[in-house]
Amino acid sequence: IAYRPSVAVMSITSSTNSANMYSTLSVNTVAPFVTHVTLNRPEKLNAMNRAFWGEIKECFQKLSDDPDCRTVVLSGAGRVFTSGLDLTDMSDFFDIIQSEQDIARKSKLFYAKVRDYQDSFTALEKCSKPIIAAIHGACIGGGVDLISASDIRYCTQDAFFQIKEVEIGLAADVGTLQRLPKAVGNDSIVRELAYSCRKLPSDEAKSLGFIGRIFPDKESMMNAAIDLATVIANKSPVAVQGTKINLNYSRDHTVDDSLEYMARWNSTMLQSEDLVKAAMAQMSKDKPTFSKL
Amino acid sequence: IAYRPSVAVMSITSSTNSANMYSTLSVNTVAPFVTHVTLNRPEKLNAMNRAFWGEIKECFQKLSDDPDCRTVVLSGAGRVFTSGLDLTDMSDFFDIIQSEQDIARKSKLFYAKVRDYQDSFTALEKCSKPIIAAIHGACIGGGVDLISASDIRYCTQDAFFQIKEVEIGLAADVGTLQRLPKAVGNDSIVRELAYSCRKLPSDEAKSLGFIGRIFPDKESMMNAAIDLATVIANKSPVAVQGTKINLNYSRDHTVDDSLEYMARWNSTMLQSEDLVKAAMAQMSKDKPTFSKL
Amino acid sequence: IAYRPSVAVMSITSSTNSANMYSTLSVNTVAPFVTHVTLNRPEKLNAMNRAFWGEIKECFQKLSDDPDCRTVVLSGAGRVFTSGLDLTDMSDFFDIIQSEQDIARKSKLFYAKVRDYQDSFTALEKCSKPIIAAIHGACIGGGVDLISASDIRYCTQDAFFQIKEVEIGLAADVGTLQRLPKAVGNDSIVRELAYSCRKLPSDEAKSLGFIGRIFPDKESMMNAAIDLATVIANKSPVAVQGTKINLNYSRDHTVDDSLEYMARWNSTMLQSEDLVKAAMAQMSKDKPTFSKL
Amino acid sequence: IAYRPSVAVMSITSSTNSANMYSTLSVNTVAPFVTHVTLNRPEKLNAMNRAFWGEIKECFQKLSDDPDCRTVVLSGAGRVFTSGLDLTDMSDFFDIIQSEQDIARKSKLFYAKVRDYQDSFTALEKCSKPIIAAIHGACIGGGVDLISASDIRYCTQDAFFQIKEVEIGLAADVGTLQRLPKAVGNDSIVRELAYSCRKLPSDEAKSLGFIGRIFPDKESMMNAAIDLATVIANKSPVAVQGTKINLNYSRDHTVDDSLEYMARWNSTMLQSEDLVKAAMAQMSKDKPTFSKL
Amino acid sequence: IAYRPSVAVMSITSSTNSANMYSTLSVNTVAPFVTHVTLNRPEKLNAMNRAFWGEIKECFQKLSDDPDCRTVVLSGAGRVFTSGLDLTDMSDFFDIIQSEQDIARKSKLFYAKVRDYQDSFTALEKCSKPIIAAIHGACIGGGVDLISASDIRYCTQDAFFQIKEVEIGLAADVGTLQRLPKAVGNDSIVRELAYSCRKLPSDEAKSLGFIGRIFPDKESMMNAAIDLATVIANKSPVAVQGTKINLNYSRDHTVDDSLEYMARWNSTMLQSEDLVKAAMAQMSKDKPTFSKL
Amino acid sequence: IAYRPSVAVMSITSSTNSANMYSTLSVNTVAPFVTHVTLNRPEKLNAMNRAFWGEIKECFQKLSDDPDCRTVVLSGAGRVFTSGLDLTDMSDFFDIIQSEQDIARKSKLFYAKVRDYQDSFTALEKCSKPIIAAIHGACIGGGVDLISASDIRYCTQDAFFQIKEVEIGLAADVGTLQRLPKAVGNDSIVRELAYSCRKLPSDEAKSLGFIGRIFPDKESMMNAAIDLATVIANKSPVAVQGTKINLNYSRDHTVDDSLEYMARWNSTMLQSEDLVKAAMAQMSKDKPTFSKL
């Protein structure tokens, strides 16, 4: 596939390259300041097991602070993006059921567990670098929660999405019901998907507003995702990260509150060297070089 | 029409079957756990009269608690879905105008009246069971408020929608301006519709995000609506109702607040028998049977 | 072009006609109660200079109170709608940079400056009359902030939109990040645009939900915009302005809060003479005449 | 006791006098436009039984609309104000425990029950007429929730208050934890009371900010409460009810939001005849007579 | 009186000294960086007339930006602080009543008027410099609204406060109902005052939490107020203004939101020279000199 | 001192006893389910150094989950409670100043640092067990932030409190400005303290509402604090922790939202065994024994 060689050619030795750091993810620098995170248990369809929940959180918390990372591409290895929660690894839940007799005490344990899982995906939202999710094949259950916490969503023609939690007897609890409706433009379809567990094909996902672009195959999608990531990585990181943080803030606040936060933000950021560098680059038509952030 | 016989064949004797319970609605069980509510004054184009406002509220409050109902299909009898407010029955408003001299005193009466009408449609939103509105022909004025408070919206090719209140000299006050913009994805069109009272045809309603699916005729729409309702009714009611309640909550709260509410919710619901039943059914490929809720 | 003569023919002498009132805008009455505001520095591509920020604010504050105005059409003179911030006029910013040594003191000045700019566009949102932005050619940077604060957006086929701030090293700070995501239905595309500064063509802008209608050329767009403005201007101004104010309120509040506000609103407005006039006009099929507001 | 005769002397025949209307309350008009509601199961220490929860709600909903009522005094018959929840009548709770096996299903029933109880006390808050709670002796458990939903709190020297719910194994759930901390000025003491169930004596209740005035005995308290109620009842009901509604609104909204709501409110109410009547009365030193509301 | 001579002795020529700038206020610099604003129509008991509403707003907007002002003392000339709204100047209101026939149109005018008045007092809250209100004698009606928008409240033993609006037939609409309850600790007393219009004496105002300190006479109060203002004026203006802005923000937001805003704030302000100057002054025991802000 | 021996006598071997676990804290079990956390650098007046910020966070996160802890008493060893931030350990801040040239980049580092410090104290608020702060001597700067995040505040007669941050050139940023005003009842005094840095003596702290009780000396205070902690520890932990979580929630939400959250909470917790145990204990007058939580 075309986009892999380009990675090999680069052979950057980044602090974030971590072949053996995680058991469920691989993390590579695929272009300057562009990090590629791969869900990497292809033999298990990238199902989300116990290790995954800790690793995905740690990974994006580190990337948020990693000055060598300015944009992230997130994709899945193997046949599908992810099959969602690894049900063979649900012993934690049964442990809770059996560990306590009292409902209130079980409730405290379940609450902590759900909160932990939620925090894992909130780490993507809180990561100050834009995240481009590139989805092929199936994206099921927890996979929808995961990409709902990403910034930009690309997919292949053959991709499909499924909010599957109701099928296993529970309401989706790690972000889909909270983030997806605010990111798209057809509440009727969102609710139909969430109640009925039907599969959402890629083209309907695009017209729903969940997906930004559809590609014929994974190779073209990955190339486009990395190209976009590269474009963003060449921009001022002060400007890009400020844009993400303010977009997140605006989603959850009134316009008035958000304008106030924005004005405070830029009262500092307009003093940054990036503004001068970007302005000069615009005039000289040169490509600006920004310091790490 | 095909979907009616299926109802007759079933001949379920549900507590919610109520041929003579309401003067403006008919309520029938059309499949196990699937309730069909029909706006049933076809000779008046299902215009919303004084009786209607009380009955629609009572109907959905009861369905929310009715364990024999898990999903509701809402449609209109006769030529159209609804022509909106029954203007021949507006004597209440004129009574208020004439009953008092003082502006402040009239204001208190009008406030109470508007609040009553709003509560009637909020009853759909608060009903813990998903509501699929199936619209054919005209859906005017109060009809748009009504379906904005539903979960899922299907319509026929010949359906059209009209926010008509401005034409009669007032701002729409029973939910359209509050709910519709948060359910769709084109504020420019929403405002054009609300200011100009122009008719919104079915296909533009779909691209606006107001409608989930369009059907060639009422029969195919009703069959699809009941099929969808049946699919949902076969799912765990704990999971489905929890999904609705959390989707409603998320619309009106920040993501952080909504995740917290969700985690508290599932700290209880993960202890439900439905989870085990659904999980076992998934493994055995059997259809699970859930207790009433 | 067809729509200009119609203006000339009308030759209304409105208090808001102001050929020489503003240096960056022209303001004309183009139909009864329809005001046309033109960004009017075509030789500078309607770039936003220092004078512009004060004038646009003053203009829309006046229109909000002007009883001869019921709807506003906003367009740009010359080749494009606007090229955004006038960079040759950025001396204010450099004055701040140089006027103070201390970061905190510069910060206070920058905050005040950004707030001033924000207030200029918030004046469109607070203007109680609907504003129809009619965009042709380029709409860049501040132009996107400007039309995000309008009610309805029409554009020509050749129009394009660009959130360009990141390219000059800052996060967009006069409304785009706060208003645009709440007006459309594809967060993935919004974020891609904001991070990468790529141009958004008219058709994608429509499918994104940012634009209501696309026209083949400026003439047909202007005619349609003025026609729509005229339709709205013939409606009850009590009803139209109440609709705008309640739509704005709803965007930033919960449905419950918004229903309460709406009920209080109509407890007064249902006592207006407009209701009676509109109701009688409906029955008599005559065109109603509403008093000024 | 002095305040009772005054009632007898008045012998007003109000629609709200209801010796036999309620089994747990008595409702009397004790002065023009002043309603006295008494918790009236003295032999049971005014414990809150099943009937009580429905009656208190109905009572205050009616008073809110009763034009003959402008202020309410709420007190307890017999030795104490109230001993709180009637534990001998808790069979509803045990019915729920036993009626269902599944946790999720019990949870839905308990939720409905708690919501019902909460609504009963929210009826006091939503009642548009000021409520003066006059407490003597014990005010325990639900009694604290009840008076927290009142406007003004007077008590006798021998009164004490006790948030007792923790002692019976639950967190207080009908309003104390939600309303009391926002009505007083010492969070440290509030939390100590709620965690430890210790009794709060009257003087500490006053310094905490929970009580407005302390009286040596019930007679002097009742006389003062009725005097205050009479003073308020002689004011413009438009002004008084508007004050209550806006105070309630302000507690739960930002100052900006509350000023906006207030301005909309008075844009109507400044047109009321009460303003003119009150202004003229001020000038002429006469007592104004206001129409019913 | 002692504090006047100290002013005379200083004879600072500040840009804010404005003997003839305002007709209802006098503005003087009474100590370095300390501005004294006096309600200055003693012959009219400092009643708030039409000119006042514009001047008080303009005055505090200017002080917010005036680098020679770091703290403001606000007091009243003559016998009392203020008698509130100047009723002899209420022609604006009667003009509105008579200018329009239609309720909705009057409503728009009243709304604008109330909003204008509210903005006048919100100018005190938005002024980034702390305001110490020093009240003697009567503080009635609008006076309570005014000081509720101040930061610190001192009063003399003979001062009293009266929310008098209900007496003239309206709910207080320029800030009292919105700000006062959030600044004090006894909601029962607040509501009693607002409903009954009774006078609040100084000592009860202190125990209510409305007043910080009481003084035997105006002279001692003014000296203490100016002393406190001087202490504050000697602190870092970056620190003091940041404290005010964050206290205001916290009142209207959750603790989480407020901590976020605070952290963004100090991410800039910790880079200010004031931090170094203050730290060095602490070590050297010298008095620091801060640049203007 | 009397309260120390009682600890020694108990000689409980709790998992939370940690003489050598922390360098700045000591943690002991002083009564069944009662944990005593001591700020333990008396030779440095318990100044908050780098180690402290990590330890206090870890400590309260552990206690939140520790089933052997039901209440916490927090006090300071040595002469004072705490002198606040350890200025000799501020090298982190100077490292940031020097590590970067660009304002935006420094800003990101400072933001992260402030957030870390805030999180340390938010850990007390999020700890589900009530925390009783027992303060003697000085409580300065960060000490006020710390105890503002506690539940209950006791102090000795000789204690004083000082918001000292403005004196060192910054606005207090770890919680005081966010939490303290919502916990007390006199905004005028809060602002005076925050702007002027004056010391707040214990008796004024009590009348302000910041302190619950004052004691003549540390010994009597510690005995009372441990007694209160013991009383609370003997209550149902389900009830106590639910009370804390709901009080925290109520502070930051509307009453409506908080009642909803409370009803959901108790829909689970009313099914707990604690309810039955507590009810039976009430009847039998026995002391109930609750399972760990």
- Which residues in chain C are closer than 8 Å to A231, comparing Cβ atoms? 196, 198
What tokens appear for B191 in the block?
A: 């405002």
Decide if F104 and A274 are in contact by the 8 Å CB cutoff: yes
**Mean pLDDT, chain D, integer:** 92
DSSP B85: B
Distance CA E188, CA D154 (A): 8
Residue of C nearest to B186 (CA): C209
- How does E125-142 read in b/e, with b if 16+ C-beta sit within 10 Å? bbbbbbbbbbbbbbbbbb
Task: Identify the pLDDT of residue B8.
Answer: 39
Our CA-based measurement puts residue B264 at a distance from the nearest CA of chain F, in whole angstroms, of: 7
CB B110 within 8 A of CB C271: yes
Least confident of A193-207, C186-200, D77-91: D77-91
What tokens appear for B39 in the block?
A: 């706006």
Average of per-residue pLDDT across A115-137:
98
Task: Identify the pLDDT of residue E3.
Answer: 53
Confidence of residue B15 (pLDDT cuts 50, 70, 90): very low
Task: Identify the pLDDT of residue D275.
Answer: 92
Neighbours of C101 (CB within 10 A): 9
Helices H, strands E: what count in chain C?
12, 9
- Which residues in chain F are closer than 8 Å to B263, comparing Cβ atoms? none
Task: Identify the pLDDT of residue F3.
Answer: 53
pLDDT at B11 over 70: no
Confidence of residue C283 (pLDDT cuts 50, 70, 90): confident
Our CA-based measurement puts residue C94 at a distance from the nearest CA of chain B, in whole angstroms, of: 37
Task: Identify the pLDDT of residue C89.
Answer: 73
Q: Residue written as tokens 């206020």?
A: E25
Candidate from F153, F242, F259 with C-beta closest to D178? F259
Distance CA B250, CA D225 (A): 44
- How does A28-53 read in b/e, with b if 16+ C-beta sit within 10 Å? bbbbebbbbbbbbbeebbbbbbeebb
**Mean pLDDT, chain B, integer:** 92
Confidence of residue E20 (pLDDT cuts 50, 70, 90): low
Task: Identify the pLDDT of residue E91.
Answer: 76
Burial class (CB in 10 A: 0-12, 13-18, 19+), F13: exposed
pLDDT at E1 over 80: no
Decide if B264 and F265 are in contact by the 8 Å CB cutoff: yes
What tokens appear for E79 in the block?
A: 């016998």
Average of per-residue pLDDT across E246-263:
98
Please give the interface size between B and D, counted as residue pairs whose CB atoms are below 8 Å apart.
Answer: 60
User: Listing from the earlier edge strand, what are the strands of the sheet with C138-140?
Assistant: C138-140, C160-162, C200-201
pLDDT at C1 over 90: no
Candidate from F186, F236, F259 with C-beta closest to D166? F236
Average of per-residue pLDDT across C118-123:
98
CA D140 to chain centre: 15
Task: Identify the pLDDT of residue F20.
Answer: 59
Task: Identify the pLDDT of residue A93.
Answer: 78
- Which residues in chain D are closer than 8 Å to E252, comparing Cβ atoms? 254-256
Task: Identify the pLDDT of residue F279.
Answer: 85
Task: Identify the pLDDT of residue B20.
Answer: 58
Q: Tens digit of pLDDT for each residue in C47-61?
A: 999 999 999 999 999
Candidate from E153, E232, E277 with C-beta closest to F169? E277
Task: Identify the pLDDT of residue E293.
Answer: 92
DSSP B80: -
Task: Identify the pLDDT of residue B36.
Answer: 98
Neighbours of C94 (CB within 10 A): 10
Percent residues over pLDDT 70 in chain D: 93
Decide if A255 and C125 are in contact by the 8 Å CB cutoff: yes
Candidate from B118, B186, B198 with C-beta closest to C184? B186
Ramachandran area for residue D141 (φ above 0: left; ψ -120 to 50: alpha; else beta) = left
Distance CA A144, CA A146 (A): 5
Least confident of D5-9, D232-236, F35-39: D5-9
Our CA-based measurement puts residue D113 at a distance from the nearest CA of chain B, in whole angstroms, of: 13
CB C29 within 8 A of CB C14: yes
Distance CA E71, CA F173 (A): 22
CB A35 within 8 A of CB A28: yes
Candidate from C151, C265, C282 with C-beta closest to B191? C151
Q: Beta strand pairing status for A25-31 and A34-39?
A: antiparallel
Our CA-based measurement puts residue E174 at a distance from the nearest CA of chain A, in whole angstroms, of: 21
Please give the interface size between A and F, counted as residue pairs whose CB atoms are below 8 Å apart.
Answer: 58
Average of per-residue pLDDT across E24-40:
98
Helices H, strands E: what count in chain E?
12, 9
- Which residues in chain D are closer than 8 Å to B272, comparing Cβ atoms? 102-105
Distance CA C73, CA C131 (A): 6
Distance CA C107, CA B291 (A): 62
Task: Identify the pLDDT of residue E278.
Answer: 92
Q: Tens digit of pLDDT for each residue in B130-143?
A: 999 999 999 999 99
Candidate from D209, D263, D276 with C-beta closest to E118? D263
pLDDT at E87 over 70: yes
Distance CA B91, CA B100 (A): 15
Average of per-residue pLDDT across B22-47:
97
Task: Identify the pLDDT of residue C196.
Answer: 98
- Which residues in chain A are closer than 8 Å to C184, comparing Cβ atoms? 185, 209
Decide if B272 and D238 are in contact by the 8 Å CB cutoff: no
Average of per-residue pLDDT across C249-254:
98
pLDDT at E19 over 70: no
Q: Of the candidates B189, B133, B185, C152, which has an alpha carbon nearest to the alpha carbon of residue A206? A: B185
In a mutagenesis test of the E interface, which of D266, D282, D287 is the best target, namely the one with the most E β-carbons within 10 Å?
Answer: D266
Decide if E272 and C104 are in contact by the 8 Å CB cutoff: yes
Residue of A nearest to E260 (CA): A261
Distance CA E142, CA E197 (A): 13
Confidence of residue D97 (pLDDT cuts 50, 70, 90): confident
Chain A: residues touching E (Cβ < 8 Å): 261, 264-265, 267-268
**Mean pLDDT, chain E, integer:** 92
Decide if A239 and C165 are in contact by the 8 Å CB cutoff: yes
Average of per-residue pLDDT across C30-53:
97
Task: Identify the pLDDT of residue B89.
Answer: 73
Least confident of B97-106, C241-250, D132-141, E161-170: B97-106
Q: What stretches of F127-169 show up as alpha helix (H) in DSSP? A: 142-148
Ranges of chain F whose pLDDT falls below 50: 1-2, 4-16
CB D107 within 8 A of CB A103: no
Average of per-residue pLDDT across D108-136:
97
Task: Identify the pLDDT of residue D89.
Answer: 73
Residue E67 identity:
P
Decide if A102 and F65 are in contact by the 8 Å CB cutoff: no
**CB within 8 Å of B269: residues ≥ 6 apart:** A170, A171, B238, B239, B242, B275, D103, D104, D107
Q: Of the candidates A80, A82, A18, A88, which has an alpha carbon nearest to the alpha carbon of residue A55? A: A18
Decide if E194 and D275 are in contact by the 8 Å CB cutoff: no
**CB within 8 Å of A26: residues ≥ 6 apart:** A18, A19, A37, A38, A40, A77
Q: Rounded to the nearest 10 degrees, what angle do helices E187-196 and D218-233 cross at?
A: 50
Decide if C261 and D265 are in contact by the 8 Å CB cutoff: no
Distance CA D224, CA F6 (A): 51
Least confident of A113-122, D277-286, E153-162: D277-286
Confidence of residue C20 (pLDDT cuts 50, 70, 90): low
In a mutagenesis test of the E interface, which of F195, F204, F252 is the best target, namely the one with the most E β-carbons within 10 Å?
Answer: F195
Q: DSSP states of C59-89 as a string?
A: HHHHHHH-TT-SEEEEEE-SS-SB--B-GGG
- For chain B, the residue count is 293
Torsion of CA F136, F139, F144, F149, to 10 degrees: -30
Residue of B nearest to C279 (CA): B168
Q: Of the candidates A256, E193, E206, which has an alpha carbon nearest to the alpha carbon of residue D247? A: E193
Q: Tens digit of pLDDT for each residue in E59-86?
A: 999 999 999 999 999 999 999 999 999 9
Candidate from A103, A274, A291 with C-beta closest to F271? A103
Task: Identify the pLDDT of residue C136.
Answer: 98
Task: Identify the pLDDT of residue E173.
Answer: 96
Q: Residue written as tokens 């009898």?
A: B77
